[in-house]
A and B are shown apart, each in its own frame.
Chain A
Amino acid sequence: MSDPVIEVSDVTRTFMISAGFMRGKKPLHAVNGITLDVERGEVLGIVGESGCGKTTLAKMMLGLLPPTSGTLRLDGKAVGSADRIEVARILQPIFQDPYSSLNPRKSIGDIIMLPLRVQNDPNPETWQSRAEAIMDLVGLPKRVINNFPNQLSGGQRQRVAIARALINRPKIVICDEPTSALDVSVQSQILNLLQDLRSEFNLTYVLISHNLAVVEHMATRVAVMYLGRIVEQADTETLFKSPRHPYTEALLGSVLTPVPGLGVPDTHLGAAYPNPIDPPSGCTFHPRCAKVMDHCSNQVPPTIGANGTMVECHLYADGLGQKAKGKKTRKGKRK
């Protein structure tokens, strides 16, 4: 089953951040040694809090940011060495904010046809009809082709962004929070549209989101990120049914329920997201972990598991006994 279209191996991206006036610069590891494969045809959800490096990872996959170390391979070719145009043919992004992802000075038709123009498509006479076809597919009326982005609603704009991403038939689409800037009613339309297009075009999605409901609805496999690391990976059903990493548990526990009496769920996470310039020692999650053990603060947890199912936690370090114990505690806590 292993047919990865994106292979991320041990990728790190470091930003030099000024630590304050006259204090020089300190490294911030936005992405810190991530290894991740995206299989052909799957929908990989990447979840995590703000600032955990989701978007940096996406930008590196798109070739917009070079990794500080490690390699990214796209369909077998290294992203850095390949031509930008070639990468663009395989991989396309859909961005978070449809209000800033469309050039306000260009008509919808120009925006959707831009990929064809950039790729120097050999049949310019077909551009118009192809743009109209894709607009039809994403549910945009033909008459908006001469309109400007600010004449459209948020949902329509996101449809334009999707049409632009898909007109050249890419293999992979990276959706960076594709619905978080939209109204709830429009969100589901866009998600369903993405689902339909996926089967229509045989697409592979990398879906970045902090909205767990979106990820559960869309993804086939989920990777959980914390402070630049992937702490757990599993297929969606397993991850949502029996999360292993305490952080995943806390994330799942943090989802607000529509039941009014329940109030805001207690995640045991505490308030503070650690300063990424100065991450905690050992397991970076230990200051907020509900099941912290003595050696968590000084030993980096091992990576357990492979082939798309893994967890990075001391709880599972010495075999099944610990794992069972971990599960028991969780159930006990939830009551």
Chain B
Amino acid sequence: MANVSLARAGIPTAEEILEPSPGAMLRRRIFGNIGLLFGAVVLLTIVFMALFAGVISPGDPYDQVLSRKLIPPIWHDGPKVTWEHPLGTDALGRDYLTRLFYGARISLFIGFAAMLISGVIGTTLGVLAGYFGGRVDMVVNFILTTRLSLPVVLVALAVVSLIGSSLTVVIWVLGLLIWDRFAVVMRSATQQIRNLEFVSAAQALGCSTPRIILSEIIPNIANHLIVVATLEMAHAILLEAALSFLGLGVQPPEPSWGLMVAEAKGLIFFDSWLIGIPGAAIFILVLSINLVGDGIRDVTAPENRN
């Protein structure tokens, strides 16, 4: 009863002072992790750019003004440099900043969707193989070896030339091809957890197998899952850029960062910023995703809880 009145008065009880709430401890760890903070801020900025591309961009990504083509960005000197086009214009006179914003949309969407598809496939296969072992493991390993023997870019090339290129095709091709790391990591993580006694305890309590997998195994491999998911998202974004660069991914005039690099490759010696800007954007996006992934793992790892 004393506790109640203290709490009403807004005075923390002795227990609250001794033991910070789980939420407070989580906050303390998040704000102690510079990599995570930096990555999260950059990633959120890019997500914001992508979501509100229509509102914040100065122009239209498809509007061509040939009289104003190849204006350099504002940090260059030159007669054509103007604040109307802070990052300049491309060879067709389209505002580069606008295309960069809209391109973020496509990169993030492809990365996220492909990561989701491959994550579901790879995690399912990996967890099943790790949990059941034996025959299941053999079958999964066979599928995995088969998949690893397929070169991603060549298969993507073949599929795209067979059924044509579009955003959906790129997402599915990537999603169906890059689940291998999920499967490998989830399989070994599951094998480790599976032999711990709390899994035996859950079995002895009468838990059903799906329940054991979902509530005993998955939460304990979730930090590996998050790290692999971020790595694979970054991987998918890079692959999309590579496919678009080869002309197999997103088709013009859609603004994709990989495609922007490809379109500018003829001008690399004259207007190198045309490649530099989308290239830097890809680099920063991938870096921030990886930082966030590492940070989440550090923050949520149970060995860091004290």
Residue of A whose beta carbon sits closest to that of B198:
A103
Q: A97-B197, A102-B198, A103-B198 are in contact. Are A62 and B204 (CB under 8 A)?
A: yes
Contact with B along A135-156 (1 / 0, CB 8 A): 0000000010011101100000
Residues of B contacting A148 in the complex (Cβ-Cβ under 8 angstroms): 302, 305
Q: Does A118 contact B (CB under 8 A)?
A: yes
**From B197, B211, B302, B305, contact of A96 by CB (8 A):** B197
Q: Identify the closest chain A residue to B209 (Cβ).
A: A84
Residue pair A87, B206 in contact (C-beta under 8 Å): yes
User: A62 vs B19: C-alpha distance in the bound complex, in angstroms?
Assistant: 38
Does B306 reach chain A (CB closer than 8 Å)?
yes
Q: Digitize A90-108: 1 where CB-to-B-CB distance is under 8 Å, 0 elsewhere.
A: 0111011100111111100
- Say yes or no for A114: interface residue by CB 8 A criterion: yes
Given known A118-B211, A143-B15, contact A103–B220 (CB-CB < 8 A)? yes
Q: Which residues of B contact A86 (CB under 8 A)?
A: 206
Residue ID in chain B nearest A116 by CB atoms: B205
Q: Are B204 and A103 in contact (CB under 8 A)?
A: no
Chain B residues with CB under 8 A of A50: none
Closest to B218 in A: A105
Check A150/B211 contact, CB under 8 A, given A64-B204, A114-B205, A143-B15. Answer: no
**Contact indicator B305/A93 (Cβ below 8 Å):** no
Contacts A150-B302, A150-B306; is A100 near B196 (CB within 8 Å)?
yes
**In the complex, chain B residues 100-153 whose Cβ is within 8 Å of any chain A Cβ:** none
B82 to chain A, nearest CB (A): 56
Closest residue of B by beta carbon distance from A61: B204
In residues 216-275 of chain B, which contact A (Cβ within 8 Å)? 216, 219-220, 222
Contact of A105 among B22, B202, B205, B219 (CB under 8 A): B219
Of the residues A64, A106, A143, A164, contact of B200 by C-beta under 8 Å = A64
On chain A, the residues within 8 Å of B205 by CB distance are 88, 92, 114-115, 118, 164
Of the candidates B197, B220, B222, B305, the one whose C-beta lies within 8 Å of that of A101 is B197
Complex contact A104–B302 (CB within 8 A): yes
A211 CB–B CB distance under 8 Å: no
Determine the distance from Cα of A164 to Cα of B222 in the docked complex, in whole angstroms.
24
Residue A119, interface by CB 8 Å:
yes
Query: In the complex, which residue of chain B has the Cβ closest to the Cβ of A120?
Result: B206
- Cβ of B45 within 8 Å of any chain A Cβ, yes or no, is no
Flag if B302 contacts A95 (CB, 8 Å): no
B115 nearest CB across to chain A (Å) = 23
Cα A71 to Cα B211 with chains together (Å): 28
Decide: A101 near B201, CB < 8 A? Known: A143-B15, A146-B22, A150-B302.
Answer: yes
For chain A, give the interface size range: 35 or more
CA distance A147 to B305 in the complex (A): 11
B206 and A88 contacting across the interface, CB-CB below 8 Å: yes
Residues of A within 8 A of B167 (CB): none
B197 CB contact (under 8 Å) in A85, A89, A92, A95: A95
Contacts of B220 in A (CB 8 A): 103-105
Partner among B197, B207, B305 whose Cβ is within 8 Å of the Cβ of A100? B197
Q: Is the CB of B22 within 8 A of A164?
A: no
Q: In the complex, A104 Cα to B220 Cα: how many Å?
A: 8
Assembled-state Cα–Cα distance A100/B192 (Å): 11
User: B302 and A105: CB pair below 8 A?
Assistant: yes
Q: For the complex, is B203 an interface residue (Cβ under 8 Å from A)?
A: yes
- Is A84 a contact partner of B206 (Cβ separation < 8 A)? yes
Indicate whether A63 reaches chain B with its CB closer than 8 angstroms: yes
Question: Which residue in chain B gives the minimum CB-CB distance to A88?
Answer: B206
* Chain B residues within 8 Å of A101, by CB: 196-198, 200-201
Contacts of A114 in B (CB 8 A): 202, 205, 207
Q: Min CB distance, A137 to chain B, in Å? A: 19
State the CA gap A115–B204 with chains docked (Å).
10
A315 to B222: give the CA distance in the assembly, Å.
59
Q: Closest residue to B216 on the A side, CB-wise?
A: A103
**A92 CB contact (under 8 Å) in B196, B204, B303:** B204
Closest to A111 in B: B198
Q: Which residue of B lies closest to A144 (CB)?
A: B19
Least Cβ–Cβ distance between A246 and chain B, in angstroms: 34
Query: Are B204 and A63 interface neighbours, CB within 8 A?
Result: yes
Looking at the assembled complex, report how far the CB atom of B127 sits from the nearest CB atom of chain A, in whole angstroms.
15
Interface residues of A in 67-96 (CB under 8 A from B): 83-89, 91-93, 95-96
B51 to chain A, nearest CB (A): 32
Bound complex: CA of A150 vs CA of B200, how far in Å? 19
Output the least CB separation between B256 and chain A (Å).
Answer: 39
* Docked CA distance A221–B207 (Å): 32
Contacting residues, chain A, for B19 (C-beta < 8 A): 143, 147
Residues of A within 8 A of B15 (CB): 143
A96 to chain B: which residues have CB within 8 Å?
197
Nearest residue, chain B, Cβ from A104: B302
List chain A residues, Cβ under 8 A from B206.
83-89, 115, 118-119
Select the residue from B196, B197, B216 with max chain A CB neighbours within 10 A: B197
A interface residue numbers (CB < 8 A to B)? 59, 62-64, 83-89, 91-93, 95-97, 100-106, 114-115, 118-119, 143, 146-148, 150-151, 161, 164
Given contacts A59-B200, A105-B302, A118-B206, 4 further A-B contacts (CB under 8 A): A63-B204, A101-B198, A105-B219, A151-B306
A-B residue pairs in contact (CB < 8 Å), sample of 7:
A101-B196, A114-B202, A143-B15, A146-B22, A147-B19, A150-B302, A151-B305
Q: Which 6 A-B pairs have the closest CB atoms?
A: A88-B206, A85-B206, A101-B197, A105-B219, A100-B196, A95-B197
